[in-house]
C-alpha cells in the first residue's frame, strides 16, 4: 500500500478581487488544472470582496456592533476594547469577522452573507466549468481560548465533508473509537494556510489527495460545525459570568431567597 499523502499548493497570480468579479473565472485564469477530488480552500475575504460586502464605517467598532448578535466576552487593553462576539451565523470570534486590513480607508469588509451558499455556488461553478468533482472551503483566521496565535478554520463549505465521522470504527487494539470526530474541514483550512500565508497575497490553495472527503453539494456546510451556544460550556466569558452571578446572588439575598434557588436557575440557563 502506498503511504497516505496529500499535496497542498497555492494558486499564484490571482490579483486583486473586486465587487462583481467571477471567482470561477479568476481561479481558472491562474491556469490551475483541477482534478477529481481536489479541495479548494478560499480565503473568505476574496469572496466578501467579490460579493461587494464593503460597508462604510466611521470606525471598525461600529461595524462590529452591527454584526454582533450577542457579546460573549470583552477586555480592554491599552485603551482598546477587544470583543468576542457571536455573529448572525452563530460563530463565536473576535470582532465578528469584520475586517479592516486590505481595505480602503474608511471601509470595512464583512463576512460573506451566507458562506455555505457561497462555497456551494463556487464548487458548482468549478464543477460545471472543469468537469472535475471538486470541493470548496471558505476559510477565516480565528484566535481561540487557551492557546496563543491564530489558525485558519472553515467558515463555509460546499461539496466537502466537514467532519470525518469515525464513531463506531475500531482502533488498532480493537476498541471502538467512540468520541473521535475529526473536524477535517478545519484541518484542511489549516493545511492550506501553510502555503497561502497572510502576507503573500495568495488567497486560494488546493489540497489534493483526500478525494474521499469530496461529495455531493448537498453535504452539510460549515454551519454544521458551529456549536449552538446553549450547548457550549463557555457560552459566556468568565468575568462576565462572575459578574452576572454576583448580581443575581446579591439580589437573591436582599430578597430573602434561599441561597441556592437562583443558582439552580442559572445552571438551567447554562445547560
The CA distance from 166 to 168, in Å, is 6
Q: Which one of 22, 29, 106, 170 is in contact with a second copy (CB under 8 A)? A: 170
Contact window for a second copy (CB under 8 A) among 50-58, 111-119, 124-132, 142-150: 142-150
Q: Which one of 28, 55, 102, 114 is in contact with a second copy (CB under 8 A)? A: 102
Which grid cell is 32? 490551475
CB of 142 to a second copy, least distance (A): 9
Q: Which one of 20, 78, 218, 271 is in contact with a second copy (CB under 8 A)? A: 271
Q: Which one of 103, 117, 132, 211 is in contact with a second copy (CB under 8 A)? A: 103
Per CB under 8 A, does 254 bind a second copy?
A: yes
Per CB under 8 A, does 138 bind a second copy?
A: no
For 106-138, give the secondary structure using H, E and C.
CEEECCCCCHHHHHHHHHHHHHHHHCCCCEEEE
Per CB under 8 A, does 236 bind a second copy?
A: yes
> What b/e string do you get for 154-185 counting C-beta neighbours within 10 Å, with b at 16 or more?
bbbbbbbbbeeeeeeeeeeeeeeeeeeeebbb
Q: Among residues 114, 116, 115, 159, which one has the least CA distance to residue 134?
A: 159
Among positions 39-68, residues that touch a second copy (CB under 8 A) are none
CB of 250 to a second copy, least distance (A): 4
Among positions 107-136, residues that touch a second copy (CB under 8 A) are none
Q: Tell me, what DSSP letter sits at residue 238?
A: H
Looking at the Cβ atoms of 121 and 241, the one nearer to a second copy is: 241
Contact window for a second copy (CB under 8 A) among 20-28, 102-110, 111-119, 126-134: 102-110
Per CB under 8 A, does 245 bind a second copy?
A: yes
CB of 51 to a second copy, least distance (A): 19
In degrees, rounded to 5, the angle at the alpha carbon of residue 224 between the alpha carbons of residues 231 and 175 is: 75
The CA distance from 258 to 250, in Å, is 12
Amino acid at each position: 500500500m502506498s503511504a497516505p499523502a496529500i499535496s497542498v499548493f497555492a494558486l499564484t497570480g490571482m490579483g486583486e478581487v473586486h465587487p462583481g468579479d467571477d471567482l470561477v473565472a479568476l481561479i481558472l485564469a491562474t491556469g490551475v488544472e483541477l482534478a477529481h477530488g481536489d479541495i479548494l480552500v478560499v480565503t473568505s475575504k476574496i469572496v466578501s470582496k467579490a460579493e461587494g460586502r464593503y460597508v462604510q464605517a466611521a470606525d471598525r467598532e461600529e461595524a462590529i456592533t452591527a454584526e454582533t448578535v450577542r457579546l460573549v466576552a470583552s477586555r480592554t487593553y491599552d485603551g482598546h476594547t477587544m470583543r468576542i462576539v457571536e455573529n448572525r451565523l452563530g460563530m463565536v470570534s473576535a470582532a465578528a469577522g469584520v475586517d479592516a486590513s486590505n481595505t480602503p480607508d474608511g471601509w470595512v469588509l464583512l463576512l460573506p452573507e451566507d458562506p455555505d451558499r457561497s462555497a456551494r455556488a463556487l464548487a458548482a461553478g468549478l464543477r460545471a466549468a472543469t468537469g472535475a468533482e471538486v470541493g470548496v472551503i471558505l476559510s477565516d483566521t480565528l484566535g481561540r481560548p487557551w492557546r496563543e496565535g491564530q489558525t485558519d478554520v472553515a467558515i463555509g463549505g460546499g461539496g466537502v465533508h466537514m467532519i470525518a465521522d469515525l464513531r463506531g470504527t475500531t482502533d488498532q487494539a480493537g476498541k471502538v473509537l467512540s468520541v473521535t470526530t475529526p473536524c477535517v474541514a478545519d484541518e484542511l483550512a489549516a493545511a492550506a494556510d501553510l502555503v497561502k500565508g497572510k502576507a503573500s497575497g495568495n488567497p486560494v490553495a488546493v489540497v489534493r489527495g483526500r478525494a474521499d472527503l469530496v461529495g455531493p453539494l448537498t453535504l452539510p456546510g460549515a454551519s454544521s460545525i458551529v456549536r449552538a451556544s446553549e450547548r457550549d460550556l463557555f457560552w459566556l466569558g468568565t468575568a462576565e459570568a462572575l459578574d452576572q452571578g454576583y448580581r443575581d446572588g446579591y439580589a437573591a439575598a436582599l430578597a430573602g431567597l434561599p441561597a441556592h434557588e437562583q443558582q439552580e436557575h442559572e445552571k438551567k440557563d447554562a445547560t
